Structure 1
């Protein structure tokens, strides 16, 4: 069923619809006709309000979870409300200050991203998400730690103090001496280069025969750089914070929460969803069954692209929570966080 434009609803229908949606978003419970009649200024009887609700239900905007219950908005109803009726509330001075403070924290960029995402999660009572392209790491030091005769832990330290580890498979018969020789060569030769520059340097040195190392160490160097380079190209940085917020206040619907937490474990799917928000001119809202990833858990995602001074998208930030979100408050908060992180990234 196609959702009707808000302009096609009568004034009475819009008023009743708004009260049902706002009441549901505030309480999480269906809203009855008597509640609207008692607490609104509509001057309508419960019977008249039930008639309007029935019309809205036939349009696919409201649903009755039980025969004797009130009404609650459908996903289509929430979409109509968000796009056509919602009055956004800008973040408070304290909320803006908290987001900016966390974005300005020093240290590796991923720490600041994680801290800001955690702040957004706490302020919105949702799980916070941020996805950025993996930055070009500038290399400082390498080491190899033997784990067994067949595997070693390759450790890379960046100029910004970040540390990355990879478990790599070793060719048969590689000695501890070869591990040390490879690490020393990489640190001495490649320090100050990005991964792409380091790969090109190694390729040139190997081809020209300038690498004064044995065959075993040469294989370790080539394999280690290839693992890091491939991983860096294929995988963006995706940070999720505040999953515990999804459990608070949802004890009556633990199956939905478990489903959502399972979905958050599939970070590749989450990354694809966030990536679809990159081309948006502003904050995008994905509501419940509109996205098949969250159709079962009944969840909403609010995501905003982070744009640098040149207009280029440098990442996406957002939140995920139940469809019963305070959209009017959270949408501007996500947008403000995107602006704060964009300044951090550029």
Structure 2
């Protein structure tokens, strides 16, 4: 039998379906006819309730995991509920203030991304995920500091205040040459991404417009190559709160949780999933087997793109957990966090 849209359910079937889903999402346990009969919103006998539950099970929106254990929504039923019945619970002003305060703590953008992932985990009771912005940071300054033994410390400063350190092999390059190279690169860095600055300097060197000697030119080339390679190897995904997935309800479903944790170890695959949400205008919800990656673990993902002040998508954030996530609360929380992070990325 085909799954009916919410509008085609009878009023009493719709009410019982809603109560079963909400009860399951709150407790993680199947909901029985006895519990439903005690609800003031249901004015039916236990026998009539059981008849409605059987009809809903026949359509595929509810399932009985064990005999006489009550009913719980299937993944199809969850999708039906999320798309057609769920009432969003917008974040309170206190929650909004807490999110914005956490994101606006001083520090580099990587620290804000870490905080975002941890915060989403705390708010949802699941694992929080943030994709690192695909946009390269714009640079402000570089300094090369001699360390001795043929090495130098490259200190790279971004316009956003982020600082990155790299150790370079410089051979017997004198300190005054390191300073000359620092000044040359810094004069061409401001407002440019590393790739842009690299292209400009290589072109100047190739055209003979650089005042640097050959040794200094080689140092510039090697230094830029190291930074560019490092940037490409940065983690694409920050995941925090995996321990939340090992709550009491997971004890009877350890295989599913183990499968989910294994999936999260493959961060590139999870990042590929989040890429599907990049072009979405609003928060997207992936429930269980709707996504191939989490088909075995039966998990749900709530993801939202975050944009810079020009409206360009620079990353995706979200949460992942069991299908009994509190969608009504988590969806608007993810959406608000994405908008707040976008303001910070600017």
Which residue number corresponds to residue 302 of structure 1? 302
- Aligned partner of residue 187 in structure 1, secondary structure: helix
Relative to structure 1, the CA distance from residue 165 to residue 318 in structure 2 (aligned partners, 3 Å threshold; closer, same or farther) is: same
Which residue number corresponds to residue 105 of structure 1? 105
Deviation at 1:20, TM superposition (A): 0.9
Q: TM-score, structure 1 length as denominator? A: 0.85
Whole-Å Cα distance in 2 between the matches of residues 74 and 180 of structure 1? 68
Deviation at 1:83, TM superposition (A): 0.6
- Confirm or deny: 8 A CA contact 2:108 2:163 kept in the other structure: no
Deviation at 1:155, TM superposition (A): 4.7
Deviation at 1:99, TM superposition (A): 0.2
- Confirm or deny: 8 A CA contact 2:116 2:130 kept in the other structure: no
Whole-Å Cα distance in 2 between the matches of residues 341 and 277 of structure 1? 16
Relative to structure 1, the CA distance from residue 236 to residue 156 in structure 2 (aligned partners, 3 Å threshold; closer, same or farther) is: same
Whole-Å Cα distance in 1 between the matches of residues 24 and 146 of structure 2? 56
Relative to structure 1, the CA distance from residue 276 to residue 138 in structure 2 (aligned partners, 3 Å threshold; closer, same or farther) is: same
Alignment map for 1:28-107 (pairs within 5 Å): 28-107=28-107
Deviation at 1:29, TM superposition (A): 0.7
Which residue number corresponds to residue 177 of structure 1? 172
Which residue number corresponds to residue 202 of structure 2? 203
Relative to structure 1, the CA distance from residue 122 to residue 175 in structure 2 (aligned partners, 3 Å threshold; closer, same or farther) is: closer
Deviation at 1:109, TM superposition (A): 1.8
Which residue number corresponds to residue 340 of structure 1? 340
Deviation at 1:5, TM superposition (A): 1.3
Deviation at 1:92, TM superposition (A): 1.6
Structure 1 stretch displaced more, 176-185 or 318-327: 176-185
Q: TM-score, structure 2 length as denominator? A: 0.85
- Aligned partner of residue 268 in structure 2, secondary structure: helix
Deviation at 1:309, TM superposition (A): 4.5
Whole-Å Cα distance in 1 between the matches of residues 239 and 252 of structure 2? 24
Deviation at 1:164, TM superposition (A): 3.8
Relative to structure 1, the CA distance from residue 295 to residue 186 in structure 2 (aligned partners, 3 Å threshold; closer, same or farther) is: farther
1:241 pairs with 2:236:
no
Which residue number corresponds to residue 141 of structure 2? 140
Deviation at 1:96, TM superposition (A): 1.0
- Confirm or deny: 8 A CA contact 1:134 1:233 kept in the other structure: no
Deviation at 1:200, TM superposition (A): 2.0
Question: Which residue of the other structure, out of 178, 182, 191, is the alignment partner of 1:187?
Answer: 182
Structure 1 vs Structure 2 CA RMSD: 3.1
Whole-Å Cα distance in 1 between the matches of residues 117 and 320 of structure 2? 12
Structure 2 unaligned segments of length 5 or more: list them: none
Relative to structure 1, the CA distance from residue 328 to residue 145 in structure 2 (aligned partners, 3 Å threshold; closer, same or farther) is: farther
